[in-house]
Homo-oligomer: A and B are copies of this chain.
Amino acid sequence: MNEQTWVYYCRDKFPDDLEAKVMLGGKGANLRDMFGMELPVPPFFTITTEACVKYMGSRELPEYLWEQALEALAKIEKETGKKLGDSENPLLLSVRSGARKSMPGMMDTVLNLGMNDDARAALAELTGNEWFSYDSYRRFIMMFSDVVMHYSREAFEEKLEEIKTKEKVRRDQDISLEGMKWLVDEFKAMYKGHFGEDFPTDPKKQLELAIKAVFDSWNGVRAKAYREHEGIPHDWGTAVNVQAMVFGNMGDNSATGVGFTRSPANGDNRHPVYAEVLFNAQGEDVVAGIRTPQRASIDHSREWAANNDISETLRERNYPSLEEAMPGIYQELVYYAGRLEEHYRDMQDFEFTIENGRLWMLQTRTGKRTAGAAVKIAVDLANEALISKEEAIMRVLPEYVDLLLRPSFDLQAEKTLIAKGLAASPGAAVGYVVFDPEEAKQLAKEGRKVILVRQNTSPDDVDAMAASKGVLTQKGGMTSHAAVVARGYNLPCVAGAEEISVDYVNQQFSVDGLVIHKGDLISIDGFTGNVYKGDVPLIDADYHKQENLITLLEWADEIRTLGVRANADYPADARKAVEFGAEGIGLERTEHMFFNPEARAAVVGMIMAQDDKERQEYLDIMQPIQEQHFEGVFEAMNGLPVIMRLIDPPMHEFLPPYEKLLEEVINLRYSDPASQALAEKEKMLEVVNNLRETNPMMGLRGCRAGIMYKGLTEMQTRAYFQAACRCTKRGINVTPEVMIPLVSHVNELKMEREKLEDVAKQVMQEEGIEVKYKFGTMIEVPRAAVTAGEIAGYADFFSFGTNDLTQMSFGYSRDDAEGKFLIKYIEGFNTGKVDDEGNPLLEPILEANPFQTLDQKGVGRLIQMAVEDGLAAKPDLDIGICGEHGGDPTSIDFCHRIGLDYVSCSPFRIPVARLAAAQAKIRNDPQYQA
């Protein structure tokens, strides 16, 4: 036969050469898995994704599809002994979409399909519950009209309100039987009024419309936008699952439940299953949270009772576990859960229903979990030999490691939840509510903890956000300005807390009658989106107590080939870095040492010096300050390599800003024209004016300053090697490496290196100590990347300064861009397109902030060229990266692929980088692809 197979019944053989998930979608494939494992799954059939693709062209069901669906339906009927639309034993169906990847914006589920007057009557008879039959009927009409026919749900909700008002009841379940009957009649009339034809009572017509609705939803605007954003191909299509309904509310011998094979909260596996059950209930009731669910195992039930101060007697009477109530079913469930975890080799989230004492498994999928649970489950599964260490490593998102190391709210503390928004940027923050961005900056300067609360944020607010401890907005989604900026600044943010109402005029926000004023304390949880009143205590994450994490990272260390170093400037940072597993320091910014007042005064003196002699006097003050720092860092690293970067920023950064000085000078000219203060300020103003630059980022800084300022980098080198020699004498191992920044032409490196290597040799000779050292350069200017082959001739190592390289490659001054256009570039522009609901669809220029995630196409291409040319010229060249990207997992994967030796990042990102580096190895090395 030439007929293509569009429909697979659950007992039909699925061709070996096809991939079930591709053809049947995730949900369909999993249902088929369970069925194949002989778990009790209500019979079902799946319409393939190919059918959807075919449908999309013509908007007609492909030839033979309907016939095949009816054939499969007949098999369900035969298997269940029920019949669709039957007036005695009616078969009801659930119809669900299911693409290869779970996707918002698509039609989800229609339950109770097949319902009509006859079926309702039969259902009433079968359950002995007429009210329930009408309730189910009116629910089906609502759901079908809404989901399949796109008839706004609100009109139905109005009717529901109407009857409740009339009957003076508050809850749906308190509506009378008569009320329910009235509703069904009203709903039918509404449908006819709207569409001009009767509500389809023919169950097969219902089925056909539902199938088409699933297909159509694949091309809904929101689904399409989501696919574009996630890079999911538009031609995948979705499958449709049609399954016999089972009922958990057929009496006390029935129940419905959801469960996990391990705890999704913390990964515990002390109990055989972590499930919640409601007897005589439907799935919807579990979600609604009206009744208190019961636990599956006795132990878990007792634990739950103890935590909730419920006595054992009360528990046994009102909340018995499934293990107590239906021991056989419980054993069966535990067995199935075990089978599922073995099969999928991961923690599973499953749904089940007990209909008249018979257990049915309705769905399974890999369970969502918290960061802590993810780590524990991965390590446990590997220890249980269910998965390999490599798989364990791949199971944990690197960002989870970061989350586990952030302070969070004390779970035990008393909290008053006042609102819930989107968990837009993780982290917990406590602070005083401020609405005005200028005021936020001012208070932050004064050392106050501030939570900036806005309806939404704009580029003007970026500084204020950066100065705050956290941000709360009333409007906006996960890609709103506030969310994007907050993630960029690693700032906790709850966005789109629509329940609150921000009132700028009165400087307050209200939520459910509660008013929070400017200056009140609130706590926001960017992990959950929760907003609390008052000051919720924070607890620090203790790395050393996180045994599972430590184990996972040790496994990661065994596998990864990419080194991980730290960007650390102070001895304390260096010690932290070693604690977190750093294998060296990739970037020690020496200018940071000059920001203490004593050193800074010397720097200013050096800049303003009239001659070489005076300059040298100030350099002589600076030198011991540097030495002391260097010694502390060498000590902390004890032999691990330490890359010291010579002074980088423009000199005027050490002086007061020109505008401030100008203001002071003019004011003094009026107030105290003959003063010494004025004379001094005027002199300083002149110096600052001479040093001022139009574009300081691309001015006299980095090696250019080293070349132009006599004695400066010589002093730094002298201090560094003196520290190295002294440490050596004290028995501390040292591996000093000197990094020359901002090289754009090989001759700059050549000249600086020759000069400074002479200094190094001289110091070692004076001290009578020989230490092994290296000289290298940052590749942070596009021209350096393009001419890396030449530059390698004078460098022992390269370190990509991807912050500046990104700035210069894009031509973005970060200081200006983020406030002026970059955030808007990421957020997107209104180009006239709207989604299903008429909301404007924003079109972004950039997919991600290139200062957070390395731009592989542009900046990355330059880096790759530099790596290739550098290694061709000098095969033993050390190559690393020390921009912020060194701690970003996506960027780390890129660094691994192009063959870098290491990444260097802030100490707190080191655990993230260790995991990400191992994942990169596993992802890219053919030995793991078997």
Measured CB to CB, the residues of A under 8 A from B are: 658-659, 662-663, 666-667, 670, 693-700, 704, 707-708, 742, 744-745, 747-748, 751, 754, 780-783, 786-787, 790, 804, 807-813, 815-817, 820-821, 824, 829, 831, 843-846, 855, 857-859, 861-862
Across the interface, name the chain B residue whose C-beta is closest to A708.
B821
Contact of A696 among B666, B694, B742, B790 (CB under 8 A): B694
| Cβ of A789 to closest chain B Cβ, rounded Å | 10
Contact of A812 among B698, B812, B813 (CB under 8 A): B698
Contact A845–B748 (Cβ < 8 Å): yes
Residue pairs across A and B with Cβ atoms less than 8 A apart, 13 shown, are A662-B663, A695-B813, A696-B816, A697-B698, A698-B807, A699-B817, A699-B820, A700-B816, A700-B820, A708-B821, A744-B812, A786-B862, A787-B858
**For the complex, what is the distance from the CA of A812 to the CA of B861, rounded to whole Å?**
21
Contact B694–A815 (Cβ < 8 Å): yes
Q: Which 7 A-B pairs have CB atoms at the shortest separation, nearest pair first?
A: A695-B813, A783-B858, A698-B813, A699-B816, A782-B782, A781-B811, A694-B815
Contact of A804 among B696, B787, B811, B858 (CB under 8 A): B811
Given contacts A700-B821, A810-B744, contact A816 B695 (CB under 8 A): yes
Across the interface, name the chain B residue whose C-beta is closest to A460.
B690
Give chain B residues whose Cβ lies under 8 Å from the Cβ of A813: 693-699
Beyond A696-B813, A699-B817, A782-B782, list 15 extra A-B contacts (CB 8 Å): A659-B659, A693-B820, A697-B811, A700-B816, A708-B821, A742-B811, A744-B809, A780-B811, A781-B809, A782-B808, A783-B859, A786-B809, A786-B861, A786-B862, A790-B857
| Cβ of A185 to closest chain B Cβ, rounded Å | 52
Contact B697–A694 (Cβ < 8 Å): yes
**For the complex, what is the distance from the CA of A831 to the CA of B698, rounded to whole Å?**
25
Give chain B residues whose Cβ lies under 8 Å from the Cβ of A708: 820-821, 824
| Cβ of A869 to closest chain B Cβ, rounded Å | 10
Give chain B residues whose Cβ lies under 8 Å from the Cβ of A707: 821, 829, 845
Contact of A810 among B694, B695, B783, B857 (CB under 8 A): B783
Across the interface, name the chain B residue whose C-beta is closest to A670.
B670
Give chain B residues whose Cβ lies under 8 Å from the Cβ of A810: 744-745, 781, 783
Contact of A745 among B658, B667, B829, B845 (CB under 8 A): B845
**For the complex, what is the distance from the CA of A862 to the CA of B857, rounded to whole Å?**
14
Contact B786–A858 (Cβ < 8 Å): yes
Across the interface, name the chain B residue whose C-beta is closest to A844.
B747
Central interface residue in A747, A846, A859, by most chain B CB within 10 Å: A747
Give chain B residues whose Cβ lies under 8 Å from the Cβ of A693: 813, 815-816, 820
Across the interface, name the chain B residue whose C-beta is closest to A700.
B820
| Cβ of A755 to closest chain B Cβ, rounded Å | 8
Give chain B residues whose Cβ lies under 8 Å from the Cβ of A782: 782, 808-809, 811, 858, 862
Give chain B residues whose Cβ lies under 8 Å from the Cβ of A783: 809-811, 855, 858-859
**For the complex, what is the distance from the CA of A857 to the CA of B746, rounded to whole Å?**
11
Give chain B residues whose Cβ lies under 8 Å from the Cβ of A809: 744, 781-783, 786, 808
Main secondary structure of the interface of A (DSSP, over half): helix
Given contacts A783-B859, A809-B783, contact A821 B666 (CB under 8 A): no
Across the interface, name the chain B residue whose C-beta is closest to A701.
B811
**For the complex, what is the distance from the CA of A787 to the CA of B856, rounded to whole Å?**
10
**For the complex, what is the distance from the CA of A662 to the CA of B708, rounded to whole Å?**
32
**For the complex, what is the distance from the CA of A747 to the CA of B825, rounded to whole Å?**
10
| Cβ of A793 to closest chain B Cβ, rounded Å | 13
Give chain B residues whose Cβ lies under 8 Å from the Cβ of A831: 751, 754
Give chain B residues whose Cβ lies under 8 Å from the Cβ of A844: 747
| Cβ of A811 to closest chain B Cβ, rounded Å | 4
Give chain B residues whose Cβ lies under 8 Å from the Cβ of A811: 697-698, 742, 744, 780-783, 804, 808
Give chain B residues whose Cβ lies under 8 Å from the Cβ of A846: 745, 747
**For the complex, what is the distance from the CA of A859 to the CA of B787, rounded to whole Å?**
9
Give chain B residues whose Cβ lies under 8 Å from the Cβ of A816: 693-696, 698-700
**For the complex, what is the distance from the CA of A516 to the CA of B855, rounded to whole Å?**
62
Give chain B residues whose Cβ lies under 8 Å from the Cβ of A666: 663, 666-667
| Cβ of A697 to closest chain B Cβ, rounded Å | 5
| Cβ of A788 to closest chain B Cβ, rounded Å | 10
Across the interface, name the chain B residue whose C-beta is closest to A755.
B831
Give chain B residues whose Cβ lies under 8 Å from the Cβ of A659: 658-659, 662
Give chain B residues whose Cβ lies under 8 Å from the Cβ of A857: 786-787, 790
Central interface residue in A707, A790, A855, A858, by most chain B CB within 10 Å: A858
Give chain B residues whose Cβ lies under 8 Å from the Cβ of A855: 783
Across the interface, name the chain B residue whose C-beta is closest to A704.
B821
**For the complex, what is the distance from the CA of A619 to the CA of B817, rounded to whole Å?**
25
Give chain B residues whose Cβ lies under 8 Å from the Cβ of A787: 857-858, 861
| Cβ of A278 to closest chain B Cβ, rounded Å | 50
**For the complex, what is the distance from the CA of A707 to the CA of B817, rounded to whole Å?**
13
Central interface residue in A695, A787, A807, A859, by most chain B CB within 10 Å: A695
| Cβ of A315 to closest chain B Cβ, rounded Å | 60
| Cβ of A727 to closest chain B Cβ, rounded Å | 32
| Cβ of A494 to closest chain B Cβ, rounded Å | 28
| Cβ of A867 to closest chain B Cβ, rounded Å | 15
**For the complex, what is the distance from the CA of A807 to the CA of B744, rounded to whole Å?**
11
Give chain B residues whose Cβ lies under 8 Å from the Cβ of A858: 744-745, 782-783, 786-787
Across the interface, name the chain B residue whose C-beta is closest to A693.
B816
Across the interface, name the chain B residue whose C-beta is closest to A694.
B815
**For the complex, what is the distance from the CA of A201 to the CA of B787, rounded to whole Å?**
58
Give chain B residues whose Cβ lies under 8 Å from the Cβ of A696: 694-695, 813, 816
Give chain B residues whose Cβ lies under 8 Å from the Cβ of A695: 694-698, 813, 815-816
Give chain B residues whose Cβ lies under 8 Å from the Cβ of A820: 693, 699-700, 704, 708
**For the complex, what is the distance from the CA of A423 to the CA of B505, rounded to whole Å?**
72
**For the complex, what is the distance from the CA of A190 to the CA of B877, rounded to whole Å?**
60
Give chain B residues whose Cβ lies under 8 Å from the Cβ of A742: 811
Give chain B residues whose Cβ lies under 8 Å from the Cβ of A747: 844-846
Give chain B residues whose Cβ lies under 8 Å from the Cβ of A781: 809-811
Central interface residue in A748, A817, A844, by most chain B CB within 10 Å: A817
**For the complex, what is the distance from the CA of A831 to the CA of B755, rounded to whole Å?**
9
**For the complex, what is the distance from the CA of A690 to the CA of B470, rounded to whole Å?**
24
Across the interface, name the chain B residue whose C-beta is closest to A702.
B811
**For the complex, what is the distance from the CA of A786 to the CA of B864, rounded to whole Å?**
11
| Cβ of A361 to closest chain B Cβ, rounded Å | 47
| Cβ of A133 to closest chain B Cβ, rounded Å | 56
Across the interface, name the chain B residue whose C-beta is closest to A811.
B781
**For the complex, what is the distance from the CA of A811 to the CA of B695, rounded to whole Å?**
10
**For the complex, what is the distance from the CA of A697 to the CA of B745, rounded to whole Å?**
21
Give chain B residues whose Cβ lies under 8 Å from the Cβ of A694: 695-697, 813, 815-816
